[in-house]
Amino acid sequence: MRHVLSITVANKAGVLGRIVSLFSRRGYNIDSLSVGTSEDQRFSRITVSIKGDDRVIEQIHKQVAKLVDVEDVVELKSESSIYRELCFVKVEANAAARPDIFNVATVFRANILDVSTKTLTMELTGDLDKINAFVELMKPYGILEIVRTGLAAIGRGAEKAKN
């Protein structure tokens, strides 16, 4: 089962490395990782997507919370959070295929970023299922390149993560 952790940390060099090292040493595989400065420049927020049962997640939570410079660790449950990812997809796009690709892009609300005589590059944001469905529909055209940002997540409602 997929779990998403929001980890608030001091915005200092080396903090991300210590967190990733903890996951590696314990044999936990990170499915997705994104990090950026929070609303308070002194802190960064790390979003980690991992698979595991409740016992494994509880252990990860406890171990991460013990690290120096970690301010808070919160699991963001799917029913009370918003998950999004950004994806760039470059596909082969000859003149005959281009209208079909444009139609699929329109349905998925993807933005066309670049058009050349042989390729189209699109930008898509959405949840994991939407991104994966779009990628599957692009495969027959010939995917040349995919770049994904990793999951960004935030809790719904008025409650906010601690700083």
* Domain residue spans of the chain: 2-75, 82-152
**pTM of the predicted model as reported, rounded to 2 decimal places:** 0.84
pLDDT of residue 112: 97
Q: Which two tokens stand for residue 53?
A: 């049962």
- 79-116 pLDDT, tens digit per residue, is 999 999 999 999 999 999 999 999 999 999 999 999 99
Burial of residue 54 (number of CB atoms within 10 Å: 0-12, 13-18, 19+): exposed
Angstrom CA distances, 26 to 93, 112, 150, 151, stand at 44, 41, 21, 22
The CATH superfamily of 2-75 is ACT domain (3.30.70.260)
What is the model's pLDDT at position 141?
A: 96
Whether the domain at 2-75 and the domain at 82-152 fall into the same CATH topology: yes
pLDDT score, position 27: 86
Are β-strands 119-126 and 81-92 bridged in parallel, bridged antiparallel, or unpaired?
Answer: antiparallel
Going by pLDDT thresholds of 50, 70 and 90, the confidence category of residue 163 is: low
pLDDT value for 162: 63
Inform me whether the pLDDT recorded for 161 exceeds 80: no
Angle at 120 (CA atoms; ends 130, 34), nearest 5 degrees: 45
CATH of region 82-152:
3.30.70.1150
Judge whether residue 30 has pLDDT over 60.
Answer: yes
Side-chain half-sphere of 96: how many Cα atoms within 13 Å?
1
